[in-house]
Chains A and B, each alone.
Chain A
């Protein structure tokens, strides 16, 4: 320790903060990091999407999915360049504006940064092989090898993300034996990587990237749909938009569970950090998050309900949508009810207590968990109705199966409500455990109902082909709203994750000594997030346009009916 102090001081003396003209160094790094992350999510999420689509094309013998996959891989080529450029901007800003932090991080993580670069190199060339070899390795065993390249691309991409995650999670949750006096050179790299939040962030981001990739695919398809001049083209992009939305919404349902895990790890690491996040100056952030997720649920469901207009037989289920809408709106209102907000003694006295006398009961976790689980169930039911809209089951046990499915929904909802109400009468530590039962009931319902539905759909009688392309334009704007909201939400959650460090570069180990050390209020953060989203979406729009310019659309004229996903 005696040796480490002079070393740290030497680092501090030789490295200094600098400022960036006009917008300041924090804003400069914020924009560079955020846009790099958005592109990174795009180039990590879309390959997952592409490789799954290619697999459906190969094993389902449906060339549409193969073409869809190729179309997106083409966009990836340009997006990779944008990711690398913004990554370089970010690193240069960090190295020149925040030298002390950069010196500290490189002292610990230097070797992993070299590995990162090496894998990024491999990832890029795997992508080139994957795309340019598409038509060469098109048939038979070669096609399987090509698909293997797609998997390899995802392996490289995921590894790169895991490495980068270790740096940022170390800043949030450095191992507890590391103190301000610990020399960074003495910290073992694996010890730093295996910190409290590394794996939860990895999993959360992995799922988040799939959601994001699906949403961007949906936005691309809707852009092309609106620009289409022929019915066939419109049908193709309508179908593509549906696939993108399906993937985004399916992964979104799983995302909160990964979020719970991350939140729990943050609390276990440092309760005060968790309280800052959920009940301190960031408490309002979760109200905004609830609003955004409500928009996602509503827009996603709206798209499905409008989409039922193009499915013969769907009119049977239309009367139910208003009840689903009521559940979603009520759930969103409860979820958006604030619980704890920072207030001084004067404000508390004016309120007559620590919580609102009426709404306070809805702002607690019991109510919120109940609301969100019921919203997930409602969304799943929407999808189920959409899925079976144009079929009539012919298996002899179809009626019994439907009743069992209905009972499963009722039981799941009852479990969610039971533990939600009971949560008001037990200790906090017991109440937290109840969320596991609620989530378990919902997941079990989703899994078992889906299995039953797949079995029931065997040999089902068709009530007519889905009329792809017969979608009103307003449904496509819902896909745009989804893409913008997903992107904005990503920026907001990034602010939450990074902001809970407050004025620490590395939590309670290395302080931020710049003039920008204070963590800004949500208003400022929202302006920054919107700026980043606008820059990102403008660049993505440009990439979409380039994609169309470089090559004509790859859609193939329809000869077979495009199936529902999962059929």
Chain B
């Protein structure tokens, strides 16, 4: 019986050893924790680019989609003949320079969904601090463009999300609010990227409900609630898109902007 026991032990150990060996022979990738950056006002562009490079290729998780050419646009290599991201970012949105475009693409990625791709990118402001976001912007600019991020862009004394117990995600937009603080409803709608999913005045996408006659369906209170807490109630037929709409507009819109938007939408009957 001892021989049988030894054989059983050998089979068990051999099987475990085989699986362990195979798992150790494949490429080893550890999911790193984004490091909190302490970048002062006198930070150099090189320091920002270096920090952004590490984030992009590591803890930021960007390479899981960007660079593969199928899930998200290539950023560090040519994308459909338009060059690398630093070369094309300033031309993506009229009136928006590269820096503002990239920052907003990170914090509110659904604002500018590139044609041909799904709106799958998470809001990076939930997981990265403003300092990390700006470092990423500098790194992306450095790929074919000019780095114009400076220490003055980075808000002073912003806590990284790595705060203890619950460690909240910071919500510092860093740029002058949506649409530069304008209270023109269509400027807010375009600036907030609403038309990436919603149609209004014949313009926009079909992922979210058509807002052309939203005033006839929802009261002002419900419109306000839908902007601030988009998942509180889901429009019939759009259940599968629950969770897609950002929940950050309460932080991004000023009170005046919010009310202007509510009035504007409720007038669309």
Contacts and interface: CB of A to CB of B under 8 A. Distances in A.
Contacts of A533: 16
Contact of A270 (B19, B164, B165, B243): B243
Interface stretch (B3-11, B86-94, B175-183): B3-11
Interface residues of B, number: 58
A281 B30 contact: yes
A291 B22 contact: yes
A272 B8 contact: no
Nearest to A353: B69
B245 to A, nearest CB: 10
A391 interface: no
A281 B29 CA distance: 6
B263 to A, nearest CB: 26
Nearest to B165: A12
Given A9-B165, A12-B164, A291-B22, A341 B15 contact: no
Contacts of B41: none
B237 interface: no
Nearest to B16: A530
B169 interface: yes
A426 interface: no
B162 interface: yes
A15 interface: yes
A227 to B, nearest CB: 6
Given A226-B8, A522-B26, A268 B166 contact: no
A349 B77 contact: yes
A9 B32 CA distance: 25
B47 to A, nearest CB: 21
Interface string B151-184: 0000000000111111111000000000000000
Contacts of A279: 64-65, 68, 71
B232 A177 contact: yes
B4 A510 contact: no
Contacts of A526: 19-20, 22-24
Interface in A484-507: 484-485, 488, 499, 502-503
A199 to B, nearest CB: 16
Most buried by A among B24, B29, B76: B29
Contacts of B80: none
Contacts, number: 183
B121, B127, B166 pick with most chain A CB within 10 angstroms: B166
A477 B29 contact: no
A336 B240 CA distance: 31
A288 B243 contact: no
B61 A481 contact: no
Contacts of A223: 8
Interface in A118-168: none
Given A279-B71, A340-B68, A343-B63, A269 B19 contact: no
Given A526-B19, A530-B16, A180 B29 contact: no
B67 A348 contact: yes
Interface string A498-520: 01001100001111110001111
A15 B164 CA distance: 10
B162 A522 contact: no
Contacts of B29: 281, 284, 342, 521-522
Contacts of A180: 161, 166-169
A176 B247 contact: yes
Contacts of B12: 480, 484, 534, 537
Contacts of A271: 118, 120, 122
B165 A11 contact: yes
The 7 closest A-B pairs by CB, nearest first: A12-B165, A526-B23, A180-B168, A280-B64, A519-B31, A521-B28, A272-B122
